Amino acid sequence: MAEEKVGFFKRLVQGLGKTRDNIVSGMDSIFNGFSHIDDDFYEELEEVLIMGDLGVQATYDILDDLKGKVKAEHIKEPMQCRELLIESIKEQMDVGETAYEFEEKTSVVLVIGVNGVGKTTTIGKLAGKLKAQNKKVVLAAADTFRAAAGEQLKEWANRAQADLIGGQEGSDPASVVYDAVASAKARHADVLLCDTAGRLHNKKNLMEELKKMNRIIDREFPEAYRETLVVLDATTGQNAMQQAKEFNEVADITGIVLTKMDGTAKGGIAVAIHAELGIPVKYIGVGESIDDLQKFDADTFVRALFTTGDGEEGENS
C-alpha cells in the first residue's frame, strides 16, 4: 500500500475512534454476553447502534437485515452475528453503480452547502482530481453572496489549473451559471463544477435560486449529465444531518460529500445520513490539501470502523 494511502486509512481510523468505541465495544459485550439470539439480544444491539451515531433509520435497516439473515441461515450463535452486522452496514453504505458516472461524462455538477463546511475546498479538490484524469474542468463561482468565496475559488482554480467563470459580488448567481455553461460548451469542457450559495435561513429564496439555475442548465445544456452534491461538515454531527434534510427539501440531491472526516469523532453520521435520506455519501474529505478528497468506499469505511485504535484491524473484521 502506498504511504499516502496508509496515512489516509490511519486518519480515517482515528476519525472514527469515538464511533468505534461506542459501537464496537458495546456490540462485542453483547455478542459475548448472550448465549442465544432472542428479543433481548436484538433490543440491546439496537440501543448500542442508536447510541453510536448511526441513527434510528440505519439501525432499523441494519437490524431488519440481520434478523432476515439469522432466520434464513439458521444462525444460533450471537457471535456469528458480528460478521453479518459488519456486512450489513457495508451493504447499507454502498454508493451504487452510477455514483461516479459524472466523472466520465460531459456533466454539470451543482455543489451546495452552507458557509464554512468546506464547499469551496471540496470543489477545488474535485477539480484537481478531474484534472489529474486529463479532464477539462470549468468552475463557476456562483456563490456571489460573499466576495471572499469567489477569491478563494480563484486560488483553487489556479491550483487545479481549471478555468474559472465568476461574477461581481451580489450579481445574479444564475447569470454566472449561464455564462459558465456557455463557456464550458465553447471550450468543450468535460465537467462544469458550480459553487453555489446555501443560505438555509431563507429556504424559499434558495429554492428559487436553485430552480433558476437548473432551468438554465436544462435549457442551455440539455445533453449534460447532471449531479447535485451537498457538502456537509462531519464534525457537526446532528447539525449536518439537519442540513442534509433541509437541502433535500429544496433540491434533487444525488450525493453527499462529508468533509473533515480526518478530525471528527462523529464519522458514524455517514451511516445515519445515507440511511435517513437514501442518498449515498460519495466523497469524504480527509484534510485540507488538494489530494485529500477520497471516493467513499464502503469496504474501507467499515474496515476503519471495526479496526482497533492502533490502526490494526480487529481480529474478527
Ligand X SMILES: Nc1nc2c(ncn2[C@@H]2O[C@H](COP(=O)(O)OP(=O)(O)OP(=O)(O)O)[C@@H](O)[C@H]2O)c(=O)[nH]1
Binding residues for GTP: 113-120, 195-199, 259-262
Q: Which is nearer to ligand X, 61 or 262 (CB)?
A: 262
Residue 87 Cβ vs ligand X, minimum distance, rounded to whole Å: 28
Residue 169 Cβ vs ligand X, minimum distance, rounded to whole Å: 13
Binding test (CB under 6 A) with ligand X, winner from 33, 68, 116, 170? 116
Q: Which is nearer to ligand X, 27 or 232 (CB)?
A: 232
Instruction: Report the site for ligand X in 272-291 (rule: CB under 6 A).
Output: 285-288
Q: Does 11 bind ligand X (CB under 6 A)?
A: no
Paired strand residues for 281 = 256
The residue type at 274: H
Q: Which is nearer to ligand X, 45 or 110 (CB)?
A: 110
C-alpha separations of 31 from 68, 76, 149, 298, 306 in Å: 18, 12, 50, 23, 15
- At what angle are helices 238-250 and 269-277 packed, to 10 degrees? 30
Q: Which is nearer to ligand X, 155 or 313 (CB)?
A: 155
Q: Report how many residues bind ligand X under the rule CB under 6 A.
A: 19
| 3-state SS assignment for residue 133 | coil
Is residue 296 within 8 A of residue 95, CB to CB? The reply is yes
Q: Does 239 bind ligand X (CB under 6 A)?
A: no
Helix runs in the chain, H state only: 3-15, 17-20, 26-33, 39-49, 56-72, 80-92, 101-104, 119-132, 147-160, 173-186, 203-220, 238-250, 269-277, 298-305
Binding test (CB under 6 A) with ligand X, winner from 259, 294, 304, 306? 259
Instruction: Report the site for ligand X in 131-170 (rule: CB under 6 A).
Output: 149, 152
Dist CA 24 CA 42 (whole Å): 15
Binding test (CB under 6 A) with ligand X, winner from 115, 175, 248, 317? 115
Residue numbers at the binding site for ligand X (CB under 6 A): 113, 115-121, 149, 152, 259-260, 262-263, 285-288, 292
